[in-house]
């Protein structure tokens, strides 16, 4: 993918029905979309995720899953990849969605660990009424989030 320049951007505040989503610092999450970002192939998405370091940031009380999802969204868009931000109600968790041209909808969670760690990118299995699960992309292991997805709040 080709990095985009700062021209042709729009911002989206994560508010719906007078309720806004905030980050760990209590401020409303605002996404930056690049008008020339496009849907990637699955391989292009994986190459982007390998290079992106969002997952290495430490999870803290002021930098939580909604912040990780915002950071990955904005980084993908800046690098020419169209991205969405997802809030999973019932799980109280945020992650990203990508519409790939060859494998369809792909959900990615790059939420890091307290203290920071590498290789935290996960591909999630997301379905309303089902447990939120996934697998690590760049190391072995599966993820059981311990919750059931009630519904999804998606921002593009």
Of 44-58, 103-117, 128-142, the range with the lowest mean pLDDT is: 103-117
| Ranges of each domain in the chain | 23-155
Q: Given pLDDT bands bounded at 50, 70 and 90, which one contains residue 133? A: very high
**Average confidence (pLDDT) over 10-24:** 91
pLDDT above 70: percentage of residues in the chain: 96
Digit-coded pLDDT (tens) for 39-72: 999 999 999 999 999 999 999 999 999 999 999 9
Q: Given pLDDT bands bounded at 50, 70 and 90, which one contains residue 4? A: low
Sign of CA pseudo-dihedral 58, 60, 62, 66: positive
Q: At CA 54, angle to CA 153 and CA 139, rounded to 5?
A: 95
pLDDT at 1: 55
**Average confidence (pLDDT) over 104-122:** 89
């Amino acid at each position: 993918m080709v990095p985009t320049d700062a021209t042709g951007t729009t911002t989206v505040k994560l508010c719906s029905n007078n309720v806004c989503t905030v980050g760990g610092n209590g401020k409303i999450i605002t996404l930056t979309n690049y008008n020339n970002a496009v849907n990637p192939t699955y391989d292009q998405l994986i190459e982007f995720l390998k290079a992106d370091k969002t997952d290495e940031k430490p999870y803290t009380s002021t930098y939580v899953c909604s912040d990780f999802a915002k950071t990955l969204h904005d980084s993908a868009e800046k690098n020419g990849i169209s991205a969405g931000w997802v809030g999973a109600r019932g799980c109280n968790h945020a992650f990203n969605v990508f519409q790939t041209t060859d494998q369809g909808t792909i959900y990615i969670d790059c939420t890091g660990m307290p203290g920071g760690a590498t290789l935290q990118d996960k591909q999630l299995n997301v379905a309303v009424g089902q447990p939120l699960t996934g697998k690590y992309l760049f190391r072995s292991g599966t993820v059981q989030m311990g919750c059931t997805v009630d519904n999804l709040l998606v921002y593009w």
